[in-house]
């Protein structure tokens, strides 16, 4: 038998061993992790809605009406009025004709991509796309071509040299870098080369664009420009699940073909109603988004002044590029000793030599929280080997 235990030991030596922390209590900046109180800067709860009293109340109020379990798949008898209501709300929120509710973003990407392309087709995938997109591409059995991150010219050359059915897929906001895809240019070349554009806006949803409607609407792109818009509900929306939104044909087709939609139990319907409530909150949450932007600016200028290598991002994802995995882990541990939880992100989640601390900010943070983190980063500064190397 293959020596799995030895592989685990090797991972530890390489600084690549992954460990889960045990969180108790609600998700919010003040966390208890492995029994220790820490100030967290690594969740995707960008608007502080994961523990929002209004959302929790909406869930509680929905439960007596819907019961708890989903009980069956949507195509058997699981498709509840509450799911239908959420789909209509999501279509309206994203200014699309229709939306289909999936259980997770991972399942949405797997199901959507493998439904829309197959053997003999070609799918073009940004090098830094989320793992669930890559897995969706692989599952589809289409030819997979990865293009250099954000490189529209390289992508266009690939598209021009390819016949047959073509699909281009990109993160809206890149999950580990925080930068935004060149969406307008992508839409233009997809139109020119008759390629279907899919945007996964997991990290833009709720945060970017007018009333938090996402990076696709921030770029002013219509359903004709971006026919397939994917969003997730477990990040800024603060609940759980995901969706694909677009023309009527898209949702109809996915109901026929998307296996991760068809062969799974419907999510608890009450959760769909809590999500509708959260979307109402998000539309009216410009104050939270304004506060978040000021936190981002404060953090960026402070971290840069302290000699850290901030990346080119204006979103709440503010990674500090470190380089080597061991060094990223050391920085994360040093921060933990000072009372902060910031996870080190290492290969294969990010490319070799680009390990980083993925700092994320939330509207639930205060300016004082950010200042405390910056103070700790200044104190740690020179103690951690080669964090400055990448910025040199
Ligand atoms: C988190 C994430 C997903 C997965 O969504 P889940 O609902 O957590 O499964 C998909 N795409 C991107 C870009 C993500 O960041």
Q: How many Å apart are CA 223 and CA 110, to the nearest integer?
A: 21
| First CA to last CA distance, the chain | 46
3-state secondary structure 306-323: CCCEECCCCCCEEEEEEE
pLDDT per residue as tens digits for the range 279-324: 999 999 999 999 999 999 999 999 999 999 999 999 999 999 999 9
42 CA distance to ligand 1 centroid (A)? 15
53-283 CATH, one of 3.30.1060.10, 3.40.50.300, 3.30.70.660, 3.40.640.10? 3.40.640.10
CATH code for 13-47+286-390? 3.90.1150.10
235 is catalytic: yes
Can you give the residue ranges of every domain in the chain?
Answer: 13-47+286-390, 53-283
Q: Looking at 43, 140, 175, 208, which residue is catalytic? A: 175
| Lowest pLDDT segment from 176-185, 247-256, 342-351, 370-379 | 342-351
pLDDT per residue as tens digits for the range 145-196: 999 999 999 999 999 999 999 999 999 999 999 999 999 999 999 999 999 9
pLDDT per residue as tens digits for the range 94-127: 999 999 999 999 999 999 999 999 999 999 999 9
56 CA distance to ligand 1 centroid (A)? 22
SS3 290: helix
Mean pLDDT value across the chain = 96
Cα 93 to the center of its chain, rounded Å:
18
The predicted pLDDT at position 382 comes to: 55
Q: Looking at 80, 83, 166, 203, which residue is catalytic? A: 203
How are strands ordered across the β-sheet holding 36-40?
A: 23-24, 30-33, 36-40, 340-341
The predicted pLDDT at position 381 comes to: 85
The whole-model pTM stands at 0.95
Contacts for 25 with CB less than 8 Å, ≥ 6 apart:
31, 32
Question: Taking CB atoms and a 6 Å cutoff, what residues make up the pocket around ligand 1?
Answer: 104-106, 109, 130, 132, 171, 175, 200, 202-203, 232, 234, 242
Cα-based distances in Å from 238 to 51, 226, 355: 7, 25, 27
Sequential DSSP letters for 132-144: HHHHHHHHHTSEE
165 is catalytic: no
């Amino acid at each position: 038998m293959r020596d799995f235990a030895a592989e685990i030991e090797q991972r530890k030596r390489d600084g690549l061993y992954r460990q889960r922390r045990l969180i108790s209590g609600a998700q919010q900046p003040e966390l208890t992790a492995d029994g220790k109180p820490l100030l967290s800067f690594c969740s995707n709860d960008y608007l502080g809605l994961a523990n929002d009293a209004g959302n929790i109340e909406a869930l509680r109020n929905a439960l007596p009406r819907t019961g708890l379990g989903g009980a069956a798949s949507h195509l058997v008898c699981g498709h509840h009025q509450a799911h239908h209501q959420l789909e209509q709300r999501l279509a309206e929120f994203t200014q699309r004709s229709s939306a289909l509710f999936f259980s997770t973003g991972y399942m949405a990407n797997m199901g959507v991509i493998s439904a829309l392309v197959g053997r003999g087709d070609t799918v073009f995938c940004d090098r830094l796309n989320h793992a669930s997109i890559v897995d969706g591409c692989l599952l589809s059995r289409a030819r997979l071509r990865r293009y250099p991150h954000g490189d529209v010219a390289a992508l266009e050359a690939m598209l021009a040299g390819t016949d047959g059915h073509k699909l281009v897929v990109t993160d809206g906001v890149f999950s580990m870098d925080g930068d935004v895809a060149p969406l307008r240019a992508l839409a233009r070349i997809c139109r020119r080369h008759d390629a279907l554009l899919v945007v996964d806006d997991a990290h833009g949803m709720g945060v970017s664009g007018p009333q938090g409607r996402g990076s696709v609407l921030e770029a002013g792109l219509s359903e004709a420009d971006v026919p397939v818009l994917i969003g997730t509900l477990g990040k800024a929306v603060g609940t759980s699940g995901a969706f694909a939104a677009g023309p009527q044909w898209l949702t109809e087709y996915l109901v026929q073909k998307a296996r991760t939609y068809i062969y799974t139990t419907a999510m608890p319907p009450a959760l769909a109603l809590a999500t509708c409530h959260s979307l109402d909150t998000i539309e009216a949450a410009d104050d939270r988004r304004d506060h978040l932007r000021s936190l981002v600016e404060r953090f960026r200028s402070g971290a840069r002044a302290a000699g850290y290598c901030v990346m080119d991002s204006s979103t709440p994802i503010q990674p500090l590029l470190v380089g080597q995995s061991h060094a990223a882990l050391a920085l994360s541990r040093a921060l933990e000793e000072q009372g902060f939880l910031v996870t080190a992100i290492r290969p294969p989640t990010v490319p070799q030599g680009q390990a980083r601390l993925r700092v994320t900010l939330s509207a639930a943070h205060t300016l004082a929280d950010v200042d405390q983190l910056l103070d700790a980063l200044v104190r740690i500064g020179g103690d951690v080997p080669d964090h400055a190397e990448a910025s040199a």
